[in-house]
Amino acid sequence: MALHVDYGQPARHNEARAARAVAAHFGAPLEIRTVTSALPKTPGLIRGRNAFLVAVALLEAPPGIRTIAIGVHSGTAYADCSPEFVSLMADMAARSTNNLVRVSAPFVSCSKADIAAYARERGLPSGMTYSCEEGRAAPCGSCSSCLDRKAVDAS
């Protein structure tokens, strides 16, 4: 099962489109959850974002789900993309599910370039993904996600 969470982020529509395409490619059912907030979300740091996404995944996971995978990677300025953060989320998931669910972050020690190489080697559809924090139809080219992707494309 795949999960997309619309929490008011600027890129939510493009992210949902990408999530639908990737889930369809792999034949995975996609669940979409919308959470409303009084505070607008902006590009860049969204405090608590990855902790929130893990918590929503735990809350929405059907009983048979035993692993929640998150796509954090190294090379960002965000503390919630670190091995320490993943360890804290894994502990939280274990404690809140009586050790039934674990959190996995298989790329937490990988750069965006490492992930791109991994995807190329396996023929994965990375072209279906969307990374711009601005949420524009054409990526802005200047947010941290766009800069990550540019660095990969240049390598």
| pLDDT of the chain, 155 residues: tens digit per residue | 999 999 999 999 999 999 999 999 999 999 999 999 889 899 888 999 999 999 999 999 999 999 999 999 998 888 999 999 999 999 999 999 999 999 999 999 999 889 989 999 999 998 899 989 999 988 899 998 888 877 777 66
- Please indicate, yes or no, if residue 52 is contained in any of the structural domains: yes
- Please indicate, yes or no, if residue 66 is contained in any of the structural domains: yes
Distance CA(123)–CA(82), nearest Å, equals 27
Count how many domains the chain has: 1
- What's the domain range around 77? 46-110
Backbone Cα Rg of the chain: 15
**DSSP one-letter code for 81:** G
- Please indicate, yes or no, if residue 65 is contained in any of the structural domains: yes
- Please indicate, yes or no, if residue 106 is contained in any of the structural domains: yes
- Please indicate, yes or no, if residue 13 is contained in any of the structural domains: no
- Please indicate, yes or no, if residue 64 is contained in any of the structural domains: yes
- Please indicate, yes or no, if residue 12 is contained in any of the structural domains: no
